[in-house]
Amino acid sequence: MRRFLRVESARFLEVNDIGRTHSLYYRDYGLHMEYKGKVKTANEIFNLGISRNAKPVEKLNDAYKKFMVRTMRRTKTVDDIRSFFYMFIYA
């Protein structure tokens, strides 16, 4: 089982202005949203942390780059599957 910052906990922290300057908050919340399949929301969370210059910024940037690689890999896989089926439908 993966351990990430849960949505309820993240919202509590956000509302109470806790952890907004720490990259761990954005990294864990973003990873949780990615795990739940909410890639767009995860991207927004990572970008929010980067725009707020959360520290240590290097760790957040590294986590974001890895997230982007995983996202691109998934997108390529989906495109490959579509191309495969397209070949059979329209061949």
Per-residue pLDDT of the chain (91 residues; tens, 9 = 90+): 456 566 777 778 878 878 789 999 999 999 999 999 999 999 999 999 999 999 999 999 999 999 999 998 887 776 666 665 565 566 5
Distances in whole angstroms, Cα of residue 31 to Cα of each of 58, 80, 81, 85: 16, 25, 25, 31
pLDDT, position 67: 96
Domain 7-90 has CATH 1.10.1370.30: no
pLDDT, position 88: 59
Domain residue limits, the chain: 7-90
Cis amide prior to 56 (ω within 30 degrees) = yes
* Contact (CB, 8 A) for 25 and 10: yes
* Cα distance between residue 83 and residue 81, in whole Å: 5
Cα dihedral value 79, 80, 81, 87, nearest 10: 110
* Cα distance between residue 66 and residue 49, in whole Å: 15
